[in-house]
Amino acid sequence: MEREGSVREAEDRLGRLFAQALAGDAAAYRIFLGELGAHLRGFLRRRLERLPDRQRLPIVHMKLEGLSAAQTARRTGMSESAVKVGVHRGLKALAVLIREER
């Protein structure tokens, strides 16, 4: 429950900053963009934590860090095809997690 309250507070703050930015407040716009990025990174991190390593690690290395399948395979000890399967299945699982929260 505590996390829900803090998320709600963050979203309220983002809404206020966005309204100020729309009104032409350049400083509020810069703050809004920074806080929005942090909010989205936290949102994604919390969902990624719910995935098994065989899906989470390939997504983090390939999609977030920009490594190739070969580099990710070397880093994780997985085969390249297991890395690719992990990304595919992990992204599908993330989509389900996000849809279920609506």
Please provide the CATH number assigned to the domain covering 51-102: 1.10.10
Helix (H, G, I), strand (E, B) or coil at 67: coil
Tens digit of each residue's pLDDT (9 = 90 or more) over 49-93: 999 999 999 999 999 999 999 999 999 999 999 999 999 999 999
Using the structure block, give the residue that is written with the tokens 């070397």. 74
pTM of the complete model: 0.75
Domains of the chain, residue spans: 1-49, 51-102
**Residue 89 CB contacts under 8 Å (≥ 6 apart), including other chains:** 55
